[in-house]
Structure 1
Amino acid sequence: MKIKFHAPVGANFYSEVRQRVSEDFSERGIAPNGNMLMWIKLFVFLAAFVTLYFTILLSGFNTYVLCLLTLLLGVVSAFIGFNICHDAIHGSFSDNKKVNKVLSMLFHLVGANPYVWNITHNIVHHTYTNIAGHDEDIEIAPGLIRICREEQRKPHQRFQHLYAFPLYGLASLSWVLRKDYKKFFQSNIGSRKNSHPRIEYFNLFFYKVLYYTVFIFLPIAFMDVSWWMVLIGFLLLHLAQGITMGLVFQLAHVVECTDFPLPQADGNMKQAWAEHQMRTTANFATGSVLASFFLGGLNRQIEHHLFPKVCHVHYPRISLIIKQVALEFGIPYHENKTFLCALRSHYRLLKRLGSS
């Protein structure tokens, strides 16, 4: 079914908030792209990544230290995705398209394909947020985790609040070994038909092989450990990366306050697109300096969904405008004050949907 967002009469929320945000950028004389802070983040996270990788590869530390460093490398990999690749693929890191293209290629460092991500996330998720059967970003583990009431509940899902979190860790491993291939070759993603340029077939396999070489075959060749220990390290890397990425994305959309609306029989949604984004998205830990630095603005998903072409360093400023306009139009602005509050809300939602 083709989903359509028809704005109700007089629903001018989005045009109003866009105008005020645009005026704010103009009055301050700044561009909506990244500033020096983004380049500092680029240097910090890439330096940490390279340092950790070569320390693990060449240092000869004992097993326990190597495991700790590998877990840390997984977390840093997630931060590269959050802070650099996410903005670059959205075209918001720089006003130069070539710079964004080059930086988006860093997504291969975390084992993911930027072309597939652009389709599943930028196009499909950002359009059909939290709509079951269309937004495949919320399909964490189909058949295992139930996140909306319209799904048929299965007996084992009464335990989903317990096993969901370990599954988030496996999500990154699935992404590297399975998800990109599956999404690339399936006939459609949501309601979008798949059709790819020939070069993307080459890119998919070339960069996957390159990733496997860097993170599996080179460690086997250069490290003084058994091959099976390298595979355990590869698993640990993705457990850390997966849990970090999974929690951040789930806490933005799968919490108690967010909606999971379905289209009407004719495919129309009840709300206009921008109001739909407000009702299906939640912020968390917006007062935390650490969250703002490390999560790449993904703790401010409301601002990101309304303004995906604006770099995340500007979200704290424009959030004030969005809150005010939402208040004026009577539209909810969902927010959990801390990371733990959001985590508890996500846990309670999983528990409730698993039992009723």
Structure 2
Amino acid sequence: MTPSSAAPPSTASAPLRSRGQHPTGGSDFARLSQRVTDAGLLRRRTGHYAVRLTTVTGALAAAWAVFAALGDTWWQLAVAASMALVFGQIALVAHDLAHRQVFRQQRTSALWGRLFGNLGIGMSYGWWMNKHTRHHANPNHEELDPDVAPDILVWSTEQARGSNGLARLIGGHQAFLFFPLLTLEGFNLHVSSVRALFSPSMKSRRLEGGLLLLHLAAYLSALFLFLSPGKAVAFLAVHQCLFGVYLGSIFAPNHKGMPTFSGDDRPDFLRRQVLTSRNVRGGRFTDLMLGGLNYQIEHHLFPSMPSPHLRKAQVLVRAYCEEIGVPYHETGLLRSYREALTHLHQVGAPIRQRRRAS
């Protein structure tokens, strides 16, 4: 699915625009950045994040308090479902911390990121930071973006043609399996976090590992001390599966089904970010549930911008993209899922054809 089209720039400016340069001087992104800065949208929102961090911490404490009060009952599955939502909100807070939207200092951001990520939900801040930084630098680039590397799923027809193993097994029907597979994403985050501890690139390995171990020990101890073994396993399954579905539902609309790049095909920064990203329309509730990532275009252009400013930045960015002739794609939430799933089904065609031929 390709993004919606805007009016093309004039012929005279086309050679400059292809390199991201504005006809009057300076890059297209520099001019947009100046407008955003002049509007005060890069300023920190200390009060907002003080409330938000306190709220998610309180929600986590309240969920565990209800868990302890209920004891050994199947009603705990309702607590597991609500805790999946809380874990997702904590992951979004860790995301903002990693982008230094909350604190300017990297050390302070990393400290709080590890507290919320490693200790709070059992997800390695260092592992995720490394992976997400590479994604932001080259979104939807098949060789450079780890989020579109062929693993279980394939993201382009070229990947489908060269697929093997599990990707080849399920790639032909991956669109139908996408949401069921998200039930495993919570478990995958924990496993990937532990595996990353053995990577030479992992910083603060002892701190990361210690906090992950503390989270795991406390989590499993609580489940098996308060619940019978069967209920404890059921709680773990419901909690982690719904956590994975919630996280996947947040991130799936952002880039899936948008244009991909490969090799030396790499446009300037502004186009690289805008053309590969999709915004999701909605009100304040959508902003809350998606953590501001529904403004994916603005977030990719200005990753350190506090999330409450993204709604205002959208007005400037959308108008500027129209001004310079860069397609700006925005759709509703359900439509975004349909576009992503349609893309997954289309790129899996070579695998289906290969099966029919064999």
Scaled by the length of structure 2, the TM-score of the pair is 0.83
The aligned residue for residue 18 of structure 1 is: 33
Distance 1:133 1:230, change over 3 A: farther
Q: What is the distance in 2 between the residues matched to 1:46 and 1:21?
A: 31
Question: Which SS does the other structure have where 2:159 is aligned?
Answer: coil
Q: 2:268 aligns with which of 249, 264, 272?
A: 272
Q: What is the distance in 1 between the residues matched to 2:79 and 2:69?
A: 12
Q: 1:100 aligns with which of 93, 102, 109?
A: 109
Q: 2:241 aligns with which of 239, 244, 268?
A: 239
Per-residue displacement from partner, 1:36-78 (whole Å, max 9, x unpaired)? Answer: 3332222222212111122113422621x21111011012111
Q: Report the alpha carbon displacement of residue 228 of structure 1 after superposing the two structures with TM.
A: 4.1
Q: What is the distance in 2 between the residues matched to 1:309 and 1:54?
A: 34
Distance 1:172 1:294, change over 3 A: same
Q: What is the distance in 2 between the residues matched to 1:9 and 1:38?
A: 34
Given that residues 57 and 219 in structure 1 are in contact (C-alpha distance below 8 angstroms), is that contact kept between their aligned partners in structure 2?
A: no
Distance 1:56 1:151, change over 3 A: same
Per-residue displacement from partner, 1:190-214 (whole Å, max 9, x unpaired)? Answer: xxxx5344xx221232122111112
- Comparing 70-79 with 38-47, greater Cα deviation is found at 38-47
1:66-81 equivalent positions in 2, closer than 5 A = 66-81=76-91
Question: Which SS does the other structure have where 1:150 is aligned?
Answer: helix
Partner amino acid, structure 1, of 2:346: R
Given that residues 88 and 104 in structure 1 are in contact (C-alpha distance below 8 angstroms), is that contact kept between their aligned partners in structure 2?
A: yes
Per-residue displacement from partner, 1:297-320 (whole Å, max 9, x unpaired)? Answer: 111111111101111110011111
Q: What is the distance in 2 between the residues matched to 1:231 and 1:7?
A: 55
Partner amino acid, structure 2, of 1:81: A
The aligned residue for residue 334 of structure 1 is: 329
Per-residue displacement from partner, 1:99-133 (whole Å, max 9, x unpaired)? Answer: 53443121121211111211111x21110111113
Given that residues 220 and 227 in structure 1 are in contact (C-alpha distance below 8 angstroms), is that contact kept between their aligned partners in structure 2?
A: yes
Q: Share of identical aligned residues, percent?
A: 19
Mapped pair 1:299 → 2:272 = no
Scaled by the length of structure 1, the TM-score of the pair is 0.84
Q: 2:304 aligns with which of 300, 309, 314?
A: 309
Q: What is the distance in 2 between the residues matched to 1:61 and 1:220?
A: 10
The aligned residue for residue 216 of structure 2 is: 212
Question: Which SS does the other structure have where 2:285 is aligned?
Answer: helix
| Structure with the greater alpha carbon radius of gyration | 2
Mapped pair 1:119 → 2:142 = no
Mapped pair 1:180 → 2:196 = no
Q: 2:201 aligns with which of 187, 195, 199?
A: 195
Per-residue displacement from partner, 1:268-319 (whole Å, max 9, x unpaired)? Answer: x34112211111111113x321011232211111111110111111001111
Across the two proteins, how many residue pairs are aligned to each other?
322
Q: Report the alpha carbon displacement of residue 136 of structure 1 after superposing the two structures with TM.
A: 1.2
RMSD over aligned CA atoms reads 2.2
Q: Report the alpha carbon displacement of residue 165 of structure 1 after superposing the two structures with TM.
A: 0.9
Q: What is the distance in 2 between the residues matched to 1:231 and 1:131?
A: 39
Gaps of 5+ in 2: 1-16, 162-167, 351-358
- Comparing 94-103 with 84-93, greater Cα deviation is found at 94-103
Question: Which SS does the other structure have where 1:271 is aligned?
Answer: coil
Q: 1:281 aligns with which of 256, 277, 283?
A: 277
Q: Report the alpha carbon displacement of residue 24 of structure 1 after superposing the two structures with TM.
A: 1.1
Distance 1:275 1:9, change over 3 A: closer
Gaps of 5+ in 1: 1-5, 187-193
Q: What is the distance in 2 between the residues matched to 1:261 and 1:183?
A: 27
The aligned residue for residue 351 of structure 1 is: 345
Partner amino acid, structure 2, of 1:262: S
Distance 1:314 1:70, change over 3 A: same
- Comparing 147-156 with 105-114, greater Cα deviation is found at 147-156
Q: What is the distance in 2 between the residues matched to 1:129 and 1:183?
A: 22
Given that residues 171 and 348 in structure 2 are in contact (C-alpha distance below 8 angstroms), is that contact kept between their aligned partners in structure 1?
A: yes
Partner amino acid, structure 1, of 2:73: N
Q: What is the distance in 2 between the residues matched to 1:253 and 1:9?
A: 21
Distance 1:9 1:55, change over 3 A: closer
The aligned residue for residue 57 of structure 1 is: 68
Distance 1:124 1:328, change over 3 A: same
Distance 1:155 1:241, change over 3 A: closer
Per-residue displacement from partner, 1:130-171 (whole Å, max 9, x unpaired)? Answer: 1113211234x71x3121222034363221111111111201
Q: What is the distance in 2 between the residues matched to 1:307 and 1:120?
A: 18
Q: Report the alpha carbon displacement of residue 260 of structure 1 after superposing the two structures with TM.
A: 0.8
- Comparing 302-311 with 107-116, greater Cα deviation is found at 107-116
Q: What is the distance in 1 between the residues matched to 2:121 and 2:344?
A: 28
